[in-house]
Amino acid sequence: MSVTINTANPEPINPPTPPITQQILTRVEILDTQSLALSSFTIDASKTKQFVARAYDQTNQDITSKTGFIWSLDGKYPASQVGSITQTGLYTAGTKAGFYSGALKLVGSFAGKSLLDTVSVTINTVQPPQQNILTSVVITPDTASVYVGGQAQYSAAAYDQNDQVLAGVAFQWSVVNSITGSISQNGRFTANNYPGSYTNNIKVVATYGERTAMDYAAVTVLSQPIQVNLHSVVINPVATQLQIGSAQQFTATAYDQNNHVLNDVSFSWVVVNGGGWVNQSGYFTAGYAVGTYANTVQVVATRNGITKSAYATVTIYQVVTQNLLERVEIIPNSISIRVNNQYDFNAQAYDNNNNPIFNDVNYSWSVISGGGTIDQNGLYSAPNYTGMATVQVRATQGSRDRYALATVTVTDEDQPSGEISTVRITPSVAYLNIGASVDFNAQAYNAFGSPVSADYSWSLMSNIGSIDQNGYFVAGSNIGTYNDVVRVRAYRNGVERVDYADVVISSGGQNNYGLSATLTASDENGGTTYENDAINYTLRIINQQNSALTNVRATFELPQYTSFMSVSSPDGTPSIYNRTINWEAGTLYANSTKTLTIRVRVNSNVPANTVVRGKAYVWASEINAFWVYANDLYAAGTGEIIYDNGTPLIDTGAVDWIIAGLTALLGTVLSKKFLFRI
């Protein structure tokens, strides 16, 4: 046997090629905005909750951006009971309380495979507030003495089941024994010539809703003495605290030497120590200087050449109200960005009067669908692949949360043209006190709605303050509402675009009238506003005074690019003439609200990026008129863009800008030349 050994180099042996592993959808999950997986949750009726969809492969790798999702509700439950859910995962609870097993459904589909996740819902019924019930009424005083032919003043107060004074109660006065005298429906008793003491003779019946209560008081009618002299006068109240600009009705009662009420007395009223104004009926109106004015309201009683005086002290204070978070906006709400690029979003919170909130609000950013990441300063980083993403911001003020969404289109193509199409100022309306300031910002956009860089020039169309070239505005001393008074001119590559903002200047806040108003706009379909969409405007007028306001009225001009659909109100009478809606809201009682709802439709073929801007004009007999503005909506129109540039810079515009620059440069050179010669 022989063995041959081959000493040549052997052929290399390659290791086997591992098989390519294909990603397989293995899990779909419903998460809340804190990224917590849920199997069930509890929510109050008609409230909303945001959910997030996630998908994973067999290696537990997140494949959400590659997975298609469909949100739905289990069909075995009527929508009127369980509610509704959008394709962005925003759930709105129904109105019927109960437990709904597996009501929320999410189907994720990837590479031909679909999986389902469900969440159960428990809906709680929100208990209505306790209704006030009339339980008693009390007459003050419970007894009074009056001379024959004289008068005595009674008053009544009604109370509910919690022993709290009820407002809006109707009182009916009467005299049980009619021969003793008569009484007006203001509670003033006039004695007949029947001296004597009469118990349970003055009767008042209080009516509130369908309930009534009654009380009685006594009266003693005295024979007229031989001689009656004015002895004293009492002012009521002797001290009061008032908000700036509010009012107080003072009354005076004169007494004789026997401490009986005198009626044939004349009264004169005067303010002796500042703080406001008083008429000859004792109706005092507070001024706008905060402080305590001791013994400032004087009443002088005169009878038969005898005079007596009394005084009241007034304290005037400024009401400080918290701006409650009402909504938040992402600016802009839609962008197109290349893969692996970044974009810095901004967020702005607004209060219930549509004023921007700059303090006490925290913002939390997240990407709730699609690819990419965003930090807590709003800086979005696009992924290395194309697709759509949704960015969410949550604004938090104490226990109040509000959300807004923005759409991101990630593309591997160059961005659209950098030519300016529009420029927008934020805020579009500024409410300021005299001497207060605000930073206006401007952003230019191309025809595709993407931000582009530009040179900006700021100016004022009226002498209402000052503004620098950074958009920093300081209000002057002229109180009023100034429409389209702040102008910004954006210039790029020989093209100029212009936008305007409104300014409302007051002596102490948005208004000092005791009447406030809010105007909100919303697209009925939610999200972006398109042609032929319906827009709802809701005008709410609130009386913050302690007394009723009469002849409350408002007008609303239909916004440009819209058509009238309907107007309704459970309070007062709305009507329309041409394009102006008139609302006669009538009397607005203390601490009450009236609401007007207006529906308009966006016209067809409106310009792209059209601003739909609504405003209302509000007034009443006791207050001055003021404007209230709605949040702006931007319509994705298909028509030709119309540019309103004021004084446009066209071909000669570039020359003007160059000449201005050369003039500034020449001035600098000459100033330095003369400086060195000194």
- Which residues on adjacent β-strands are paired with residue 144? 219
Please give the model's pTM, rounded to 2 decimal places.
0.33
Whole-number average pLDDT of the chain? 84
Beta-carbon contacts of 277 under 8 Å, excluding residues fewer than 6 positions away, are: 271, 284, 285, 287
pLDDT in tens, 620-667: 877 777 788 888 888 887 776 655 444 333 333 444 444 444 444 444
Residue 457 confidence (pLDDT) = 94
Alpha carbon distance 268, 423 (integer Å):
61
On whether the CB atoms of residues 635 and 530 are closer than 8 A, the answer is yes
Q: Which CATH class is domain 25-124?
A: mainly beta
According to DSSP, residue 674 is labeled H
On whether the CB atoms of residues 476 and 463 are closer than 8 A, the answer is yes
Residue 371 confidence (pLDDT) = 92
The mean per-residue pLDDT over the stretch 202-220 comes to: 94
Examine the pLDDT at 321 and tell me if it is beyond 90.
no
What is the H or E stretch that residue 80 is in? helix 79-82
Q: b vs e for 501-521, b when ≥16 Cβ sit within 10 Å of the residue's Cβ? A: bbbbbbeebbbbbbbbbbbbb
- Which residues on adjacent β-strands are paired with residue 519? 539
Which tokens belong to 142? 């419970």
pLDDT in tens, 74-100: 888 888 888 999 999 999 999 888 999
CA 507 to chain centre: 20
- The domain made up of 230-317 has a fold known as Immunoglobulin-like (2.60.40)
- The domain made up of 134-222 has a fold known as Immunoglobulin-like (2.60.40)
Q: Which of 47-56, 337-346, 563-572 has the highest mean pLDDT?
A: 47-56
The amino acid occupying position 59 is: T
Residue 583: how many other CB atoms lie within 10 Å: 25
pLDDT in tens, 544-554: 777 788 888 89
Residue 15 confidence (pLDDT) = 61
Alpha carbon distance 211, 213 (integer Å):
7
Alpha carbon distance 356, 138 (integer Å):
47
Residue 647 confidence (pLDDT) = 37
Burial (CB count <10 Å: 0-12, 13-18, 19+), residue 1? exposed
Residue 19 confidence (pLDDT) = 59
Examine the pLDDT at 672 and tell me if it is beyond 60.
no
Examine the pLDDT at 146 and tell me if it is beyond 80.
yes
609 sits in the region (left: phi over 0; alpha: psi -120 to 50; else beta) called left
On whether the CB atoms of residues 310 and 263 are closer than 8 A, the answer is no
Look at residue 654 and give its three-state secondary structure.
helix
Q: What angle do CA 629, 630, 633 make, to 5 degrees?
A: 135
Identify how many contiguous H helices and E strands the chain contains and give both numbers: 2, 59
Superfamily of domain 511-647: ntegrin, alpha v. Chain A, domain 4 (2.60.40.1530)
Residue 119 confidence (pLDDT) = 94
pLDDT in tens, 443-481: 888 876 678 888 999 999 889 999 999 999 998 988 888
Query: What is the SS3 assignment for 208-259?
Result: ECCEEEEEEEEEEEECCCCCCCEEEEEEECCEEEEECCCEEECEEEEEECCC
Which tokens belong to 670? 């000459």
CA distances from 109 to 70, 113, 149, 381 (A): 9, 6, 93, 26
Q: Smallest Cα–Cα separation from 430: which of 507, 509, 488, 372?
A: 509
Beta-carbon contacts of 80 under 8 Å, excluding residues fewer than 6 positions away, are: 94, 95, 96
Q: What angle do CA 580, 581, 582 make, to 5 degrees?
A: 115
